[in-house]
């Protein structure tokens, strides 16, 4: 779906890839509704939009609140007239610990945001999207959604759930005008660790590791380009492409490779 003159909803629009998605969609001629729980972050996105800010609306919303999400379509449609696309980008990681050390509060928070938040948004907007001449849903999973990452087992499980949710939805919508894409970002230079509440020390460790981070603006460009050609799977970054190939070839070997790379980040 070509996004010029379309209206797109983006979750997590206050930071990282989400902010870049908002800004690049605007620069390509789309109107955008940016959704985020952080009002100050959304205001920063608005200021960065510059001359395009008249096509941007801000919606401070907790996507884990089903009732609040159910009210979003009416609010956004009353401002923009219609919705043509939805990019479910908002997500958090878990504390970098093994499963046996992870408390249930952290587990539930990861699933509430990554999986249920995505599900609530889809359920809220899908009836309207089905009435449009053409529409598109983009769900952001993760390289960790198809490849196990020690210390992020629950995060990976939530993103794997997003993967299967998206693929099932795509199959259900084959005979409609609603396109569906699933995104698998690799290592990206965002502040997701801090935003997830797992501490700045992890963020610093990641930045100092040998893993090359993709810039958020590059990731956003790849996602939008994939959306415009109705791509089924969007692999973001060379690491995601390489590990996707390796995991298909030998899942066990790929899992061991990632395990060895992550040892320095995971306490014994």
**181 three-state secondary structure:** strand
Burial 92-131 (b: 16+ CB within 10 A, else e): bbbbbbeeeebeeebbebbbbbbbbbbbbbbebbbebbee
Q: What percent of the chain has pLDDT over 70?
A: 91
What is the spatial distance between Cα 198 and Cα 265, in angstroms, rounded to a whole number? 13
Sheet with 135-140, edge to edge strand ranges: 56-60, 31-36, 7-11, 85-88, 135-140, 178-185, 233-236
pLDDT at position 263, please? 78
Range from 105-109, 129-133, 256-260 carrying the lowest mean pLDDT: 256-260
What is the spatial distance between Cα 56 and Cα 23, in angstroms, rounded to a whole number? 9
Residue 176, pLDDT above cutoff 50: yes
Q: What is the mean predicted confidence (pLDDT) over 147-166?
A: 97
- What's the CATH number of domain 7-265, 1.10.357.10, 3.40.50.720, 1.10.1040.10, 3.30.70.60? 3.40.50.720
8-39 tens-digit pLDDT: 999 999 999 999 999 999 999 999 999 999 99
Tokens encoding 41: 């972050």
210-263 tens-digit pLDDT: 557 899 999 999 999 999 999 999 999 999 999 999 999 999 999 999 999 887
Res. 62 pLDDT band, cuts 50 70 90: very high
81-102 tens-digit pLDDT: 999 999 999 999 999 999 999 9
Instruction: Name beta bridge partners: 214.
Output: 188
Residue 162, pLDDT above cutoff 80: yes
Residue ranges per structural domain of the chain = 7-265
**What pTM was computed for the model?**
0.92
């Amino acid at each position: 779906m070509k996004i010029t003159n379309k209206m797109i909803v983006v979750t997590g629009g206050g930071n990282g890839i989400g902010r870049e998605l908002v800004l690049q969609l605007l620069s390509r001629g789309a109107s955008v509704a940016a959704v985020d729980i952080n009002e100050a972050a959304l205001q920063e996105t608005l200021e960065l939009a510059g001359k395009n800010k008249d096509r941007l609306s801000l919606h401070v919303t907790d996507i884990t609140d089903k009732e609040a999400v159910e009210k979003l379509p009416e609010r956004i449609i009353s401002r923009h007239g219609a919705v043509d696309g939805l990019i479910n980008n908002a997500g958090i990681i878990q504390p970098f610990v093994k499963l046996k050390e992870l408390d249930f509060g952290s587990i539930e928070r990861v699933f509430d945001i990554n999986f249920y938040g995505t599900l609530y948004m889809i359920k809220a907007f899908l009836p309207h999207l089905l009435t449009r001449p053409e529409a598109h849903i983009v769900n952001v999973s993760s390289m960790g959604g198809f490849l196990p990452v020690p210390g992020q087992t629950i995060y990976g499980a939530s993103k794997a759930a997003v993967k299967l949710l998206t693929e099932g939805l795509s199959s259900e919508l084959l005979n409609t005008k609603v396109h569906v894409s699933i995104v698998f970002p690799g290592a990206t230079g965002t502040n997701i660790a801090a935003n997830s509440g797992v501490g700045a020390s992890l963020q610093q460790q990641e930045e100092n590791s040998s893993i090359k981070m993709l810039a958020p603006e590059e990731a956003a460009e790849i996602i939008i380009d994939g959306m415009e050609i109705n791509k089924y799977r969007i692999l973001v970054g060379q690491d995601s492409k390489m590990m996707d190939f390796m995991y298909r070839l030998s899942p066990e070997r790929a899992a061991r490779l990632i395990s060895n790379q992550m040892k320095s980040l995971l306490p014994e």
